[in-house]
A = this chain, B = another copy of it.
Amino acid sequence: MPQVPSTRWCPTPEQLMILEEMYRSGVRTPNASQIQQITSHLSFYGKIEGKNVFYWFQNHKARDRQKLRRRLSRQQVQVASASLPPHPPPQFFPHLYQPHNPQFFHQGGGFQEPRQGLDLLRKLETCSSRDEASPSGTSPASIYGCEWAAMIREPNSGESSMCCHSLKTLELFPTKSTGLKEESSTSKSSCSASTN
């Protein structure tokens, strides 16, 4: 018997076919129960574990996003180079997100990812607009009492003079434009957004 039987799962064509079909149907992040069932089902076509299903969806989703992002990024670069905006608007990718397929696992009315961390970006910057219902210290509104809050309360005073960036402390940081990876301007900053 082979000493190194198999270090990793290798999906059979049937398994792959089914997984892709599910993905096309909108499955993105199956929960434990779903993974369990999928695994059971796919095990009919070959050895498979729950983690394989989990990883598959994770990777497939990620690489799908990656593909899209790269595509958009390229477009963005073209547009940006043509206009060269002062601040490149973070390009998000409003893309795939499961249209709650009723085909798969009637749970919770078809929703699978009720609150995927997609609209996560919404919160930080909008803190001022949702400060009302803040129970206590958790909301950003609570820190508005800090000294720095006074500063940001006056966007005008700041923005009008936002142009001068010659500061003693900041001088120390040469604006060396380090080569970012790919994805152009959205590499590390990971303006990860996804739409629900």
Contact with B along A78-122 (1 / 0, CB 8 A): 000000001111101010000000011111111111111100111
Count class of interface residues, chain A = 35 or more
In the complex formed, the residue of B with least CB distance to A113 is B114
Contacts of A130 in B (CB 8 A): 43, 46-48
A125 and B13 form a contact (CB under 8 A): no
* Bound CA span A13–B46, Å: 45
Q: A residues near B, CB below 8 A?
A: 2-18, 20-22, 25, 27, 29, 31-55, 86-90, 92, 94, 103-117, 120-130, 132, 134-135, 138-140, 143, 146-152, 154-155, 157-159, 161-165, 167, 169-170, 172-173, 175-178, 180-182, 185-195
